[in-house]
Amino acid sequence: MNIPNNAAPQLSRPFKRVPLIREVLADLDTPLSTYLKLNDGPFSYLFESVQGGEKWGRYSIIGLPCKTIIKITGSQVEVTEDGQITTQKEVADPLSWIEDFQQQFDVEINHDLPRFTGGLVGYFGYDTIGYIEPRLKPKTPKPDPIGTPDILLMLSEELVVFDNLAGKLYIIVHVAPEEIASGERRLNELEDRLRNTSPRYRPVVPSRKVEESDFISGFTEEGFKAAVEKARQYIIDGDIMQVVLSQRMSIPYQAAPLDLYRALRSLNPSPYMYFLDLDEFQIVGSSPEILVHLEDGQVTVRPIAGTRRRGRDE
């Protein structure tokens, strides 16, 4: 939906949010430089893709700092808007609460742009399974040395969709139907920053050689072996067919979080690369495969796990 300046979009029916879209030539920019130009606060993100390890995917998505943040730990829901807590309550089913929350932001789909042009962005932690399968919920709270929410979602209503193939980008701002004029002013402001701002590159901290002994594991060797035996017994008992036994490894890090992403995208370009700045912590990743994808009622699940032959003839 290309909306010219000072023109209201013609919608097929009343919607609760209206996407205002500005097309900008971007043959001299990159997704990373665009993120650096427009990112002026936390709760922002960058999604990129490399196909076949050598060709950039068509679209990259740059999420500008989000105003509305949802944090859920256990059954406690907290919503902040512009840094102020607006909702704080206990709910019986956090996933149903999120679904109801989404209904406030009904937006017409633009089929000329990629699937995602705004909405909730963030993560669902491993313990989220307890909301779906109560038997897997710990009877007593487990130690949480990291102290992050089980679920953290950002309401992304200002973003840039970067079309790597066409050398152009789309600035997208979602507003209420009665706020078209202020939305147009915001588009003008973002376009001006994009054209007249230089990327704020920070000096990269010189790297040093990392030894295996520098990493700190959350498992002792004895504890890890015991977990392996427990997993084997679950398989023998028929409770599970496959298990991915993992351990968290940590190491002191002094450089900027975005430098880690820049190094990762250089060393391991992948179809799913992501950087999320969640204020108190950041998430950086580069994955060759999706975990789960839902579109038009069709679910695709592609878990990543190592494989091992089950016998001499396999």
Question: How confident is residue 6, by pLDDT bands cut at 50, 70 and 90?
Answer: very low
Nearest Cα neighbor of 249 from 211, 283, 219 is 219
What are the start-end ranges of the H helices in the chain? 31-38, 94-102, 129-132, 180-196, 221-236, 257-267
CATH code at 67? Answer: 3.60.120.10
The total number of structural domains in the chain stands at: 1
pLDDT at 7 over 50: no
The pLDDT assigned to 10 comes to 54
Q: Is residue 241 assigned to a domain?
A: no
Q: Please tell me the predicted confidence (pLDDT) of residue 295.
A: 83
- The lowest-confidence range among 83-92, 104-113, 220-229, 264-273 is 104-113
Position with higher pLDDT, 78 vs 287: 78
Task: Look at residue 207 and tell me if it is in a domain.
Answer: no
The model's pTM: 0.85
Write out the residue range of the structural domain in which residue 83 sits. 18-202+252-290
pLDDT recorded at residue 314: 56
Q: Name the phi and psi angles at 31, rounded to 5.
A: -60, -40
Question: At 170, which amino acid appears?
Answer: Y
Q: Give the separation between CA 224 and CA 218, rounded to whole angstroms.
A: 9
Residue 241's pLDDT is what?
81
Examine residue 26 and state whether it is found in any structural domain, yes or no: yes
Task: Residue 171: name the closest of 8, 20, 4 by CA.
Answer: 20
* Residue type present at position 145: P
Q: How many CA atoms lie within 13 A of 269 on its CB side?
A: 10
Place of tokens 């209420």: 176
Give the residue with greater pLDDT, 203 vs 291.
291
Which one has a higher pLDDT value, 273 or 108? Answer: 273
Q: Specify the DSSP class assigned to residue 220.
A: -
Position 48 in a domain: yes
Average pLDDT, stretch 83-96? 95
pLDDT band (50, 70, 90) for residue 126: confident
Per-residue pLDDT, averaged over 210-222, amounts to 87
CA distance 288 to 110: 28
Segment among 37-41, 96-100, 151-155, 179-183 with least mean pLDDT: 37-41
**279 located within any domain:** yes
Side chain identity at 103, as an amino acid letter?
Answer: Q
pLDDT exceeds cutoff 80 at 265: yes
pLDDT at position 124 is: 95
Phi then psi for 11, rounded to 5 degrees?
A: -95, 150
- pLDDT at residue 52, as a whole number: 56
**pLDDT, tens only, 139-149:** 787 888 889 99
Residue 295 lies inside a defined structural domain of this protein: no
The verdict on residue 49 lying in a domain is: yes
Q: Mean pLDDT, to the nearest integer, of 119-130? A: 93
In a domain, 218, yes or no: no
Per residue in 142-175, pLDDT (tens digit) is 888 889 999 999 999 999 999 988 889 999 999 9
* DSSP strands (E only) in 42-201: 44-48, 50-51, 55-56, 59-63, 68-73, 76-81, 84-90, 119-124, 151-156, 158-163, 168-175
Instruction: Give CA separation, 41 vs 182, 194, 262, 278, in Å.
Output: 21, 16, 19, 10
**E strand or H helix at 268:** none
Mean pLDDT of 23-48: 91
When the pLDDT of each residue in the chain is averaged and rounded to a whole number, the result is 86
Point out the least confidently predicted range of 30-34, 45-49, 224-228, 288-292. Answer: 288-292
Where does the pLDDT of residue 309 fall: very low under 50, low under 70, confident under 90, or very high at 90 and above?
low
